[in-house]
Structure formats: C-alpha cells, structure tokens
C-alpha cells in the first residue's frame, strides 16, 4: 500500500508529538552550606563520551527542572558547575522516557581564591574562558593533517581565515595582530607567523578581546580590538626550529618542483626572534606580501592613506581556484624578526624582509559586444613574466620613562621594484611586446608619547610622517598611437605623496563609561606628472602632447570625540567628528586651479546589547564625507595596456556617505555552536562615473563626477555547529548583496543598473573515532545584472577530502575538487585530484611525506562571465601535475 504525502506528514507529526510529550526530567535545588540558593551550570554527558557535552542548562537562583532534549538509553554523567565551588558530578541511570531524576545538592566551597577561570571539559579541555580571553588547546582540534599554524586556526570555533589574503577574523571582527608569548613580534604582517610557524611548536592559541598594543592604555581603549596570542610548548625555549626539504618534478616542465623552508624560533628572558627562509615553485606564497593577485592584507588596510595608488595596473592572476593552482611562481622569501628586552625600560623590535619572485601566466580574454545592432568581438592572448623584488626594514623602540609614561618610535623603509614583460597576440592585426617597470619607495616614521595621568585618565601625542615615491614606465611595441609606422610608445607616470599628521588624544573613564577626545592637523601633498610619447626606432620623439603635470594638496584640522555609556546590558557610543578641509588642485599644463574650503560634520552611533553570556546585538550608524584620489584628478590621457586610454574631468567635490548596519552574534562554545547574522546598507552620493567608448581595437575611458547615488545592501549569515550524534561539524556561510549603480557606454544616456549577488558555502567534517574521516565543502556563486538587458552568472564548486589514519605513524589524504565555471554550460567543467601520505615514526622528530597535485593534469582554466555590456571569456594556464617528496625535521 502506497502512503501519500499527506499520510507521511501525519505520521511524522505523530512521532514528533510523542517524542516531546514524554521526556526524561532532571529536577532539584542547588544551595550552599548556609542554604542560600546558587546559580549554576548544569552539564549532561554520555558516560561513554565523558569529554563531550551532550546538553547544557543554566540554573538561576537554585531551582531547576530541565527536560532532556533527547531520550537516552545509556548511563549519563550529571555535573553542576558553580564558580568558586567544587564541581558536583554523579553517574546516573534513566531508562524510561518519563523518568524523573531529582536531587537536592549542597555545593562545597573551593579552598583556592582563584575565581577567574571556567574549565569547560575536564583535564584536557579544548578551551578555557578567562575574562575576555578564550584559550584554545589546539591538540583538541588536530586531526594530523595540519602543517602550519594557519591550518589549525581554520578549525578553531569562532575563527575564520581568508585563504587568499591570510586575514583572520574572530567573532566577525578582523584581528589586529598575532602576538608571540604576549609580544607583538609581527605587527600587522601577522601572516608571516601564521603561514610559517610549524603547528607542533604551539600549545595554545588565545583569542583576546579588548586588546591594546599600548600597555599604558589598557582599560581605557574603546576600539574593542581583537588579537591572537600564541603560547608555545614548554620545551620550545632558547633555539628551536623546523626544516622542510621538498623536491619532485612537474609533468609538463623540465624544472624541478621545490618546496623547502627553514624556520628558527629563539626565546629566552632577553629576546624573542623568529626567522624564516623559504623557496618554492609550487604556487605557495609564504610571505605577507601579495604580488600575484590584488588581495589586501591587514597592513595594506591600515596604511591606505599613506600610499600612492598605481595608475598603470599590474598583471594579476585568476585566484578562483586558489594560489596552489594558478600561481606559477619561483619565490624566494626570507624574514628575520626580533624583540630585544634590554631592561625594564627599553625594548627594541627589528624586522627585516627580502622577497623575490618570478610569476608567469598565459591568459586569454575574449569579449563579445553589442551596441545599437553593432556586433563585434575582441581577444587578447597575453604571455606574461612578472619579476617583483622587495627589500624592507622596520625598527621600533619603546622606552618607559617611568611606570606611567612611554615613548615609542617606529620607522619602516621599503624599496620595491617590479618588472613585467608581456607578449600579446590580439585582434588588432598585430602582435605587441610590452614592458612595465614599477619602482616604489616608501618611508614612514611614527613618534608616540603616552602618559598615564591616573588610573582613570591618559594623554597620548602622535606624530606621523611618510613619503611615497612611485614611478612607472610602460613601453609598447609596435605603437598603439601610431599604427602607420614602425614605432613604439612610452608612457611614464611619476607621483609622490607626502603626509604629515600631528594628533593629541585624551582618554578617560568615569565609573564604567569611557570617553576620548582628539584634535590634530594633517597635511598631504601629492604632485603627479606623466607623459605619453611616440618614438621611432632610433628613439627620436615623433608625438608628444599627452602630458599631465599637476599638484594636489589637502590640509585638514580636526577634532573628534566619543563617549561610551554603559546602561545595564546596553552600551551606547556616540562619536562626533568636525573637520575643516582645504583642498587645492593646480593643473600646470591647463594653467588652472580648483580650490575648496569646507567644514565637515560627521556623526556616528554604535549600539551594543548583550543578550546573555554567549550572544549580543550590535548596530552602527554613520555619516561621513571623503575626498577623491589622484586617479580621478588628471586630465591628459594615460595608456595602461595595448587597447585602453584613461582620462578624467577632475572634480574635488566631496563624496557623501551613509552607512547603517545591524548584526546578531552567538558564540556558544559550551554547546559548540555559532551564529552570525548581519545586514549592512551603504549609500554614496557623488561618484566618478565612466564614459567608455569601446571599439574592436581600443577602449577610451573618461571619468567624470556626478551628484548621483550608488547604493548597496549586504546580508550575511554564518552558522556552525558540532553535532555529537553524528560526530560531525557543519558550517554554513551565505552572502547576498544588492548593488545599484549607473554608467555610460559609447555616449549613451546615464544607465541605471542593478546587480544581485549570492554566494553560499556548506562545509561538513566528520570526527569519527575510526581510521576514516571526511570533509566536504560546496560553494555556489550566482549573480544577476539588470540593465538594458538581463545577464546571469552562476558557478559551482565542490571540494571533497578523505582523511585516512591506519595507525598513529601513517596517515593520508585524497582530495577531489570539482568546478563548473558556468552552470549554463556544464560541459566546461574541471576536476582536480590531489593526494598526500605522511609517515611519522613514534617518538621521532622527523617525518616523511609524498604528495601529488593535479593528478588529472588540468593545464588551463576557463570561465565565462556576462555583464551589462559584453559576454566575456577568460582562461588562464595552471600548474601542471607534480610529484613532491618531502622530509620534515623539528629540532
């Protein structure tokens, strides 16, 4: 007899009602020896799994009556936890579904006075909570496949790691830095440590909220910064390290595959140091600097206002598949980082970096355009070799004049040179050879004086000074400008940015309410010049009238204030900024000048509501105005590639911004679950819009300012949960955005466009106590653009991993990555298979491994994307199949 859908629903509803009508109940009272009721935590564990919490309940004012969520057929462990009292634990048996277990419990005071720590799960707790710090015992999260610190950070609850940039978030907040035994060794370049420190050196990772790099401001800072601190294993003192030697071969290349590194860690009473040197040509980036893509690390985000932006863009590779697929590199990287504690008053930090690389890529781009019934196609096949080299040194001195005053001086000097050579075959009826040389020097100095006036007040004075010289030279042969003769073009771009800022800040606290007031001045000067000339074979100038010569300066006097009100569970932080901005733009070629003097009032409000000990609501509202970058202020044409010329109609009108956000966050480590949901709305009034003239052989782009608005609304949801019944961890991440913007193409009217974008990821990982475990991550990316026509793009990716551990000495992984770049054309799909086997002898400090990457030998990747003006096909070559034998030794 077939059961229809209606009957099935009735049966399911019946079992649901039955299972919730009868339940096992824990009931009773919790008191101290004086018969006073106590609030407590009630834990329920299976006797067969005493280290895993099955259920958790908060007991308020001593009385509890808790119905178990599940029906248990085995013995349970019943625990009562009260801070300052000895833990009560009892093994109980409840066989019937309607049994009631009842106890009157009298807690015994602990003799110790240490009331700070809450131990969650016995002797080998996976984490501890102490004030605003969560301490993770990383051994509880290992499965044996982790090599570097970054590998284990991805598995810690509440922590997210961006694969491309290395940026780390804790509870949705970007972390400030990663310290080593409390010392800020790496600064903003913390990926240096997370990418290179061997996981076996670290015993514990601490997530610290309300972090302050300045010890004198602890308790007064309002920023709510987050940092991670690494606690090393006890035997990792003096000098220890890790040596990796990896050699192998590529299928389609005569070069030897190499992935080798040496890491040294030195720690004693007087200094801390970490040094690394590595070489690899298997796609890895072991440095904090990124030359293959446009991803930004934490340092770049912090220093945006001090740098000049490159007018002529560098070639970047497609990173949809990750650096291990498309980054055909030859990287040598070394770094040496030291902190010297000379005495209690003086401390010095010295960081030295060197990196050189050779990045090669072959990229093919095709586009199909339709304008007013005019249809044409373009294509460019580009073979590129990019050679970056960078020298860098950082120095920080800290001098404590007294216990209440600190003087800090930092200087960072960087010299970078990137040479990029390309050969291009295109539909322009010719082949081009191009060379781009970008030279970038940067020096930044910072002087900071901090005085702790009292327990409730402090004064800080900051002085910043930086200079950035950026010179770019681009040559293209034969000429883009002159197609009738055998000539070539030379495009020069030179800019210098100087920034000076003096700022004073007064911080204080009244009861539990923090406040701060700042005032300061900022001077920024940015001259810019460029010329585009056409030269003959003997280097004589044939054409030279596309020049830029301008100077942009900005002077700002400002005052800001904020106050943090604590009203029970609610925190309100209003912020006010008042800025007087003077701008001058002198165009020496056109002999004209634009000036602007404006007083800007910028209010914002932050709301924080603590729902309970594991969840909170937060909201931000703000208005601000921004000045425009130099990229929109020059007038003469600049050639940036073999088919594109850029120019602007400059305007120094300020851009008006509004932003509103609301977020809910739950991080319940007890029940191993996390939920983050947020919505953000931003509106920008006043933008530079592009008028793009596209032909089969050239693109001419002119940017101009309009008081039009651009709007975006973003929704994000993140959920993770460990399900004990399945021994499986599940993570779900969903991002959805609505973006409204305008543009002009081929002298059309101003067109309104709307893009809907959704990206979803589902991750599952088992934790069976068997030899076999699994991981699976599924990603779906969908976008839809509504313009004069409607365009959709949809991609699918699935990454499946098998983890096999037949013994403690041997384990291996097999990974299959399946990618569909366009769901409309499922025939264009790619499959990547990787495998790795490790052998680690018992009680030995060395191990061997053999790994094979891209066993299917996919040698290129293709993706089709649609937008409001064209259908674009993009392909890039990939690292071929490789086999690598690696020796790893810890000492």
From the list 858, 879, 809, 799, the residue with the least C-alpha distance to 837 is: 809
User: pLDDT of 100-156, one tens digit each?
Assistant: 778 888 888 876 544 455 544 444 568 888 878 889 988 888 887 888 899 999 888
Strands 699-723 and 728-745, by their bridges, are: antiparallel
Asked whether residue 696 carries a pLDDT value surpassing 80, the answer given is yes
- Sign (positive or negative) of CA dihedral 629, 632, 638, 642: positive
244 within 8 A of 534, measured Cβ to Cβ: no
The neighbouring-strand residues paired with 449 are 407, 461
d(Cα 197, Cα 300) in Å, to the nearest integer? 22
Q: What is the pLDDT of residue 179?
A: 92
Q: What is the pLDDT of residue 10?
A: 45
User: pLDDT of 377-396, one tens digit each?
Assistant: 999 999 999 999 999 999 99
User: pLDDT of 467-479, one tens digit each?
Assistant: 999 999 999 999 9
d(Cα 621, Cα 605) in Å, to the nearest integer? 5
Asked whether residue 15 carries a pLDDT value surpassing 80, the answer given is no
Q: What is the pLDDT of residue 788?
A: 77
* Mean pLDDT, rounded, for 172-192: 90
Both tokens assigned to 191 = 């990926």
Least confident range of 79-83, 222-226, 574-578: 222-226
467 within 8 A of 418, measured Cβ to Cβ: no
- The better pLDDT of the pair 442, 671 is held by 442
Strands 359-371 and 655-668, by their bridges, are: unpaired
Least confident range of 249-258, 525-534, 659-668: 249-258
Least confident range of 73-87, 250-264, 336-350, 633-647: 73-87
Asked whether residue 97 carries a pLDDT value surpassing 70, the answer given is no
- Sign (positive or negative) of CA dihedral 231, 234, 240, 241: negative
Both tokens assigned to 87 = 């833990």
127-234 fold: Ferric Hydroxamate Uptake Protein; Chain A, domain 1 (2.170.130)
238 within 8 A of 267, measured Cβ to Cβ: yes
User: pLDDT of 581-607, one tens digit each?
Assistant: 999 999 999 999 999 999 999 999 999
Is the entire prediction scored with pTM above 0.85?
no
From the list 780, 792, 794, the residue with the least C-alpha distance to 866 is: 792
Give 270's Cβ-side CA count (13 Å radius): 2
Least confident range of 73-87, 628-642, 846-860: 73-87
- For residue 499, what pLDDT band results from cuts at 50, 70 and 90? very high
- Sign (positive or negative) of CA dihedral 146, 148, 150, 153: positive
User: Domain boundaries in the chain?
Assistant: 5-114, 127-234
Q: Where are the beta strands (DSSP E) in 328-373?
A: 331-341, 346-356, 359-371
Q: What is the pLDDT of residue 120?
A: 45
Q: What is the pLDDT of residue 45?
A: 87
Q: What is the pLDDT of residue 359?
A: 95
Q: What is the pLDDT of residue 827?
A: 67
- Name every residue whose Cβ is closer than 8 Å to that of residue 748 and which is 6 or more positions away in sequence: none
- The better pLDDT of the pair 792, 119 is held by 792
Asked whether residue 465 carries a pLDDT value surpassing 50, the answer given is yes
Three-class SS of 87-136: CEEEEECCCCCCCEEEEEEECCECCCCCCCEEECCCCCCCEEEECCEEEE
Q: Compute φ and ψ for 301, nearest 5 degrees.
A: -65, -35
Q: What is the pLDDT of residue 99?
A: 67
**How much is the mean pLDDT over the chain?**
88
687 within 8 A of 710, measured Cβ to Cβ: yes
Instruction: Give residue 727's Cα distance to chain centre.
Output: 29
Both tokens assigned to 869 = 């003006």
Q: What is the pLDDT of residue 98?
A: 61
From the list 500, 485, 636, the residue with the least C-alpha distance to 557 is: 500
Q: Where are the beta strands (DSSP E) in 233-270?
A: 238-250, 256-267
The kind and range of the H/E element at 169 are: strand 168-170
d(Cα 469, Cα 416) in Å, to the nearest integer? 10
From the list 626, 754, 627, 650, the residue with the least C-alpha distance to 702 is: 650
User: pLDDT of 254-302, one tens digit each?
Assistant: 889 999 999 999 888 888 999 999 999 999 999 999 998 887 888 888 8
Residue indicated by tokens 């984490």: 127
d(Cα 627, Cα 686) in Å, to the nearest integer? 11
Kindly list the distances between the CA atom of residue 296 and the CA atoms of 288, 310, 436, 729, in Å, as whole numbers in the listed order. 10, 14, 22, 30
Q: What is the pLDDT of residue 235?
A: 57
* Mean pLDDT, rounded, for 508-525: 94
* Mean pLDDT, rounded, for 170-198: 90
What CATH code would you report for 5-114? 2.60.40.10
User: pLDDT of 224-256, one tens digit each?
Assistant: 789 999 998 875 557 888 999 999 999 877 889
Q: What is the pLDDT of residue 604?
A: 97
819 within 8 A of 829, measured Cβ to Cβ: yes
661 within 8 A of 679, measured Cβ to Cβ: yes
From the list 846, 855, 844, 848, the residue with the least C-alpha distance to 815 is: 855
Asked whether residue 882 carries a pLDDT value surpassing 90, the answer given is yes
Q: What is the pLDDT of residue 104?
A: 84
Q: What is the pLDDT of residue 7?
A: 53
- The better pLDDT of the pair 851, 109 is held by 851
Share of the chain above pLDDT 90, in %: 57
- The DSSP line for 372-418 is TTEEEEEEEEEEEEEEEEEEEEEEEEEEEEETTEEEEEEEEEEEEEE
Q: Say how many residues make up the chain.
A: 891
Asked whether residue 24 carries a pLDDT value surpassing 90, the answer given is no
């Amino acid at each position: 007899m077939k059961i229809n859908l209606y009957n099935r629903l009735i049966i399911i509803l019946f079992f649901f009602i039955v299972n919730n009508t009868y339940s096992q109940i824990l009931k009773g009272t919790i008191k101290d020896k004086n018969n006073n009721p106590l609030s407590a935590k009630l834990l329920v564990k299976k006797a067969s799994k005493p280290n895993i919490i099955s259920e958790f309940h908060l007991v308020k004012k001593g009385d509890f009556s808790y119905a178990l969520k599940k029906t248990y057929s085995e013995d349970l462990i019943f625990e009562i936890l009260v801070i300052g009292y000895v833990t009560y634990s009892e093994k109980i048996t409840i066989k019937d579904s309607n049994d009631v277990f009842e106890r009157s419990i009298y807690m015994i005071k602990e003799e110790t006075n240490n009331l700070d720590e809450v131990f969650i799960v016995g002797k080998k707790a996976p984490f501890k909570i102490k004030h605003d710090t969560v301490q993770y015992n990383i051994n509880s999260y290992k499965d044996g496949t982790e090599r570097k610190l970054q590998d284990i950070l991805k598995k810690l609850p509440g922590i997210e790691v961006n694969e491309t940039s290395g940026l780390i978030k804790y509870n949705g907040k970007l972390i400030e830095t990663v310290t080593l035994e409390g010392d800020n060794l790496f600064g903003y370049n913390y990926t240096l440590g997370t990418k290179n420190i061997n996981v076996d050196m670290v015993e514990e990772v601490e997530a610290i909220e309300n972090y302050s790099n300045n010890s004198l401001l602890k308790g007064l800072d309002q920023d709510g910064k987050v940092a991670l601190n690494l606690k090393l294993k006890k035997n990792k003192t003096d000098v220890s390290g890790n040596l990796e030697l990896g050699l192998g071969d590529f299928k389609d290349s005569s070069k030897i595959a190499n992935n080798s590194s040496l890491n040294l860690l030195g720690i004693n009473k007087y200094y801390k140091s970490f040094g690394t040197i590595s070489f690899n040509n298997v796609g890895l980036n072991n440095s904090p600097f990124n030359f293959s893509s446009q991803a930004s690390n934490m340092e770049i985000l912090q220093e945006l206002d001090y740098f000049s932006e490159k007018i002529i863009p560098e070639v970047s590779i497609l990173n949809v598949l990750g650096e291990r697929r498309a980054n055909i590199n030859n990287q040598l990287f070394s770094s040496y980082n030291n902190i010297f504690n000379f005495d209690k008053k003086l401390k010095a930090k010295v960081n030295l970096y060197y990196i050189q690389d050779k990045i090669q890529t072959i990229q093919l781009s095709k586009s199909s355009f339709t304008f007013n019934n005019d249809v044409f196609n373009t294509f460019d096949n580009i073979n590129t070799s990019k050679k970056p080299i960078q020298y860098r040194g950082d120095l920080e001195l800290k001098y404590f004049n007294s216990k209440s005053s600190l003087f800090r001086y930092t200087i960072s000097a960087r010299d970078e040179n990137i040479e990029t050579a390309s050969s291009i075959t295109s539909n322009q009826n010719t082949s081009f050879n191009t060379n781009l040389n970008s030279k970038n020097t940067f020096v930044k100095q910072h002087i900071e004086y901090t005085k702790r006036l009292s327990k409730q007040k402090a004064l800080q004075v900051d002085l910043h000074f930086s200079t950035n010289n950026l010179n770019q030279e681009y040559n293209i042969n034969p000429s883009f400008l002159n197609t009738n003769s055998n000539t070539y073009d030379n495009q020069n771009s030179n800019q210098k940015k100087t920034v000076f800022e003096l700022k004073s800040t007064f911080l204080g606290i009244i009861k539990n309410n923090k406040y701060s007031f700042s005032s300061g001045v900022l001077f920024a000067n940015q001259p810019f010049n460029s010329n585009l000339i056409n030269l003959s074979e003997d280097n004589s100038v044939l054409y030279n009238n596309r020049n830029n010569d301008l100077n942009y300066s900005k002077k700002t006097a400002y005052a800001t204030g904020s106050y943090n009100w604590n009203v029970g569970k609610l925190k309100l932080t209003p912020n006010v900024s008042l800025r007087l901005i003077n701008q001058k733009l002198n165009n020496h070629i056109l002999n004209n000048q634009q000036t602007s003097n404006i007083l800007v009032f910028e209010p914002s409000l932050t709301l924080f509501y603590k729902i309970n000990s594991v969840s909170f609501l937060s909201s931000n509202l703000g208005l601000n105005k921004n000045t425009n970058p130099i990229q929109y202020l020059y007038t003469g044409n600049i050639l940036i590639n073999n088919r594109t010329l850029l120019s602007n109609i400059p305007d120094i009108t300020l851009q008006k911004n509004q932003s509103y956000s609301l977020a809910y966050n739950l991080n319940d480590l007890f029940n191993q679950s996390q939920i983050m949901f947020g919505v953000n709305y931003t509106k920008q009034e006043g933008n530079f819009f592009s008028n793009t003239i596209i032909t089969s052989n050239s693109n001419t782009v002119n940017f101009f300012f309009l008081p039009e608005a651009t709007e975006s609304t973003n929704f994000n949801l993140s959920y993770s949960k460990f399900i004990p019944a399945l021994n499986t961890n599940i993570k779900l991440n969903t991002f959805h955005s609505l973006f409204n913007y305008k543009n002009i193409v081929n002298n059309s009217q101003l067109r309104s466009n709307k893009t809907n974008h959704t990206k979803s990821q589902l991750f599952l990982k088992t934790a069976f106590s068997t030899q076999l475990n699994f991981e699976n991550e599924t990603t779906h990316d969908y976008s839809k653009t509504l313009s004069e026509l409607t365009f959709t793009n949809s991609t699918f990716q699935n990454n499946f991993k098998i983890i096999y551990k037949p013994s403690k000495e041997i384990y291996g992984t097999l990974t299959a990555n399946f990618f569909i770049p366009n769901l409309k054309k499922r025939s264009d799909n790619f499959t990547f298979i990787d495998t790795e086997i490790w052998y680690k002898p018992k009680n030995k400090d060395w191990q061997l491994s053999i790994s094979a990457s891209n066993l299917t030998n996919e040698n290129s990747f293709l993706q089709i994307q649609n937008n409001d003006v064209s259908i674009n096909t993009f392909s890039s070559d990939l690292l071929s199949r490789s086999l690598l034998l690696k020796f790893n030794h810890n000492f």
